[in-house]
Amino acid sequence: MIFKEYKISEIGQVVSGGTPKTAIEEYWNGDISWITPKDLSSHDDVYISRGERNISLEGLNNSSAKLMPKNTVLLTSRAPIGYIAIAENELATNQGFKSLICNEDICHFKYFYYWLKLNINYIVNNANGSTFKEISGKTFKELTISLPSLDVQKKISNILWSIDEKIGINKKINHNLQ
């Protein structure tokens, strides 16, 4: 199997989030899902569609938050680094994220999700900060990833995906039995 090395910035668009001003009521309680690290702290599923709060279009347009497409891979980049999920729908995040919109000609989003899970220590080891660690957008973009062909990425992802689905079903069964 042949792997090719890329910088993360070469396999997709790295997007940071933002928070609309909380004092401006019109920026909140809209139709746009807005995710924070807290929303992922107790989130067990691969996909996430909603957070605790929503923002309005006006809030999105008047902050550094950005609307990201379905299948964007979300990574918390501080406090703590390492919560990971995939956007189930269009959504925005706060500034505690470095998310990747994968270039699907190079990197399959599910493969990147699993790569992040496996390589979280690599990311944390490249973070800076004294009070709490944070991976900057610049540093995250410069990290390297070795990728097999897109076809191989999809095959690997599908195997891992089916295992995750079975784990999810077992968790639901256990929950129902309790």
Is pLDDT of 166 > 90?
Answer: no
**Mean pLDDT in residue range 115-136:** 93
Q: What per-residue confidence (pLDDT) applies to 22?
A: 94
Q: How confident is the model at residue 81 (pLDDT cuts 50, 70, 90)?
A: very high
Report yes or no: 143 and 7 within 8 Å, Cβ to Cβ.
yes
pTM of the model: 0.92
Is pLDDT of 172 > 90?
Answer: no
pLDDT tens, 53-67?
999 999 999 999 999
Q: What per-residue confidence (pLDDT) applies to 167?
A: 85
